[in-house]
Structures are given as structure tokens and as C-alpha cells.
């Protein structure tokens, strides 16, 4: 069994989410505080806070013109973060989504954004319902891309392809689509059926098309190949495995986010969320 060496990067968070590696730096949100941060792990001792939303924050991405966007979950909007820390609405999905928005992914080839929604009120104890995936055009207009997911979550485009792979957290599966020229999704299929109990949350893809997933309920990070083969497993000792991204100078540092709970009332007292770094074999695409 591989002995993974985990090194502390950030601590004292509540629920670190939205891990991205961009422009030589690590970007992330704290879902339960609405804060968005950036950090140069090689130079900075503490992250810089870019903004604080008046609601939960999740996924991050960059539009073709360079603007940074974040999911304002409760508002059901995507917001751009301006240099002075203020934000502006880029896309308002409140008219088409009746549940909280979740993670987002910017398709670098087209500039379109794909963002999922819970599908039901998980915090209020509502019975589970299927969730949607929306596509947002570069002008901010949004429409349904696909539906019927068991809690849609993080998505990736496989390098060198037009294949989008989406994690379904409570469905224990990674689902693939072909991205069509107009941004619609076709040829829906199972990319990988995951081991029983595996709950994919945040994820990232490497240059060989392997997808690292954060299994939030089982407290582990898994590298998955198409068809379901697990090549690597990082156990985080019963903590919630939240998100991950490949970065660093050579793309082989996996930055993993964990917390003691995904319940906001618990993390409000503990502030035990953290990001750690671990070295892996296959680099990321950036």
C-alpha cells in the first residue's frame, strides 16, 4: 500500500471548496463562509481573501475575457469578482433553478460554463430529487443542458477530447457526455461505476485522462479510469473529502480539501477545514 505524505497548505477554514490551479496559484472558496481566496503555496504563508459573498460559495472559473466567476449558491447566480473585491451578477439562474447551485466548470474551448444544482433542499431534510446540469453562454444566458442526476457535482473535460464527465454524488457514478458544437450534451453514458458507497464530490483530471475524485462520505481521494478501475487511493482518516486539484510547478501536486463535517452548524464551531498537498505521478493539464 502506498504511503502518502500529506503536507499542510491552509488550515482554519470551515469547508474549503472550488479548488483551482490557475496562473501559478491555488484558488479556492470556503463554502460555509462565502469567502474566496488565492494563495501562492511557494511564497505565501497565508491566503489572500478576494471577496465574501452574502451566501454560500462553491465553484470557481475564468471566463474567456479573464474574469473570475464564483457560484453564489443560495442566490442561484454566478458572480464575477472584481479587483476591488466587489462582485457583479454574470448569470442569474434563479428563474430556472429552484434549488441551490453547486460546482461549476468553464469549458476552455467554448467559454461556456456548466453548473449543477442540488435538485432539492438537502439542508432542510427534503426527500432527494433528481438534479439538473445547466449550460451558461458567454453572454450570461442559461438553459438546461441535462437532467435526472443523483446530485450532480464536479465536472471535467477529458484532455484532447470533447467529452464531459460529471460526478453524481449519491448516484456513485461518473457520467459522460459528448459536448456538441452548440453547447448541448449528447450520447449520455456511464463513464465509471464506482465502488459501493463511493460519493464523488470535487474532482480534477490529469493528462492521461484519469479523474481524481473526492469521496466525501468514505473520506478518501480516488484516481479513477474509464470503466471504473481505481489506480490510487488516499485515505484521510474519516474526514470529509471535499475537493482536489492538480497544480504546482510540474502539475504533480494534488491539493486536497477536507473538513470534519459538511454540516454548517458543525463547521461554525470547529473551523477544522484544511487543504493539504500530496505528490502524485501523473500531472494535471495546466
176 beta partners: 165, 189
User: Which letter, b or e, does each residue of 187-215 get, where b requires 16 or more Cβ atoms within 10 Å of its Cβ?
Assistant: eeeebbebeeebbbbbbbbbeebbbbbbb
pLDDT digits (tens, 9 = 90+) for 63-101: 999 999 999 999 999 999 999 999 999 999 999 999 999
For residue 120, what pLDDT is reported? 81
C-alpha–C-alpha distance, residues 280 and 253, integer Å: 6
Distance (Å, whole) CA 124 – CA 121: 5
Cell representation of residue 74: 443560495
In terms of DSSP bridges, do strands 131-136 and 163-168 run parallel, antiparallel, or are they unpaired? unpaired
Rg, the chain, Cα only = 17
Q: Evaluate whether 248 touches 171 at the Cβ level (below 8 Å).
A: no
**What integer is the mean pLDDT of 126-145?**
94
What would the mean pLDDT of 38-59 be, rounded to a whole number?
Answer: 97
Given a cut of 90, whether residue 3 has pLDDT beyond it is: no
- Cβ atoms 253, 277 nearer than 8 A: yes
Which residue, chain included where needed, has cell 501523473?
Answer: 282
Give the pLDDT score at 121: 78
Give the distance from CA 25 to its chain's centroid: 16
> What is the average pLDDT across 236-255?
97
- Best CA proximity match to 225, nearest among 206, 241, 240, 244: 206
- Percent of the chain past pLDDT 90, that is, above it, reads 94
pLDDT value of residue 110? 98
Which pLDDT does position 226 carry in this prediction? Answer: 98
Confidence tier at 1 by pLDDT (50, 70, 90)? low
Phi/psi of residue 267, each to 5°? -70, -20
Contact (Cβ atoms closer than 8 angstroms) between residue 237 and residue 218: no
Q: Please give the pLDDT value at position 124.
A: 78
Decide if pLDDT at 126 tops 90.
no
Q: How many residues does the chain have?
A: 286
pTM above 0.85, yes or no: yes
| Range 264-271 average pLDDT | 96
* Percentage of the chain lying above the pLDDT 70 cut: 100
- The average pLDDT across 132-141 equals 98
Give the single-character DSSP code of 213: E
* Arithmetic mean of pLDDT over the chain: 96
**What are the sequence ranges of the domains in the chain?**
7-279
- Cα–Cα distances in Å, from 224 out to 167, 173, 209, 275? 11, 11, 9, 21
Continuous segment of H or E residues that includes residue 268: helix 264-270
CATH class of domain segment(s) 7-279: mainly beta
Residue 213: pLDDT band (50, 70, 90) is: very high
CB burial string 152-186: b at 16+ within 10 A, e below? bbbbbbbeeeebbbbbbbbbbbbbbbebeeebebe
**Mean per-residue pLDDT, 110-129:** 88
Amino acid at each position: 500500500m502506498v504511503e502518502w505524505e500529506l503536507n499542510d497548505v491552509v488550515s482554519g477554514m470551515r469547508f474549503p471548496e472550488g479548488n483551482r490551479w490557475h496562473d501559478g496559484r491555488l484558488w479556492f472558496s470556503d463554502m460555509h463562509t462565502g469567502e474566496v481566496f488565492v494563495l501562492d503555496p511557494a511564497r505565501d504563508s497565508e491566503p489572500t481573501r478576494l471577496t465574501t459573498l452574502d451566501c454560500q460559495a462553491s465553484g470557481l472559473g475564468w471566463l474567456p475575457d479573464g474574469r473570475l466567476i464564483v457560484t453564489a449558491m443560495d442566490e442561484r447566480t454566478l458572480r464575477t469578482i472584481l479587483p476591488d473585491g466587489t462582485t457583479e451578477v454574470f448569470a442569474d439562474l434563479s428563474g430556472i433553478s429552484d434549488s441551490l447551485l453547486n460546482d461549476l466548470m468553464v469549458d476552455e474551448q467554448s467559454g461556456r460554463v456548466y453548473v449543477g444544482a442540488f435538485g432539492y433542499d438537502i439542508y432542510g431534510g427534503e426527500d432527494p430529487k433528481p438534479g439538473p446540469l445547466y449550460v451558461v453562454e458567454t453572454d450570461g444566458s442559461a438553459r438546461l443542458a441535462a437532467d435526472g442526476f443523483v446530485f450532480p457535482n464536479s465536472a471535467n473535460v477529458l484532455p484532447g477530447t470533447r467529452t464531459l464527465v460529471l460526478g453524481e454524488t449519491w448516484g456513485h457514478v461518473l457520467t459522460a457526455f459528448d459536448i456538441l458544437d452548440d453547447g448541448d450534451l449528447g450520447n449520455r453514458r456511464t463513464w465509471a461505476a464506482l465502488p459501493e458507497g463511493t460519493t464523488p464530490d470535487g474532482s480534477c483530471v490529469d493528462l492521461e485522462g484519469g479523474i481524481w475524485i473526492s469521496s466525501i462520505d468514505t473520506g478518501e481521494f480516488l484516481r479513477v479510469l474509464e470503466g471504473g478501475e481505481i489506480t490510487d487511493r488516499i485515505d484521510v482518516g474519516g474526514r470529509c473529502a471535499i475537493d482536489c486539484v492538480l497544480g504546482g510547478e510540474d502539475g504533480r501536486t494534488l491539493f486536497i480539501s477536507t473538513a470534519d463535517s459538511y454540516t454548517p452548524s458543525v463547521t461554525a464551531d470547529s473551523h477544522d477545514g484544511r487543504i493539504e498537498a500530496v505528490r502524485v505521478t501523473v500531472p494535471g493539464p495546466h
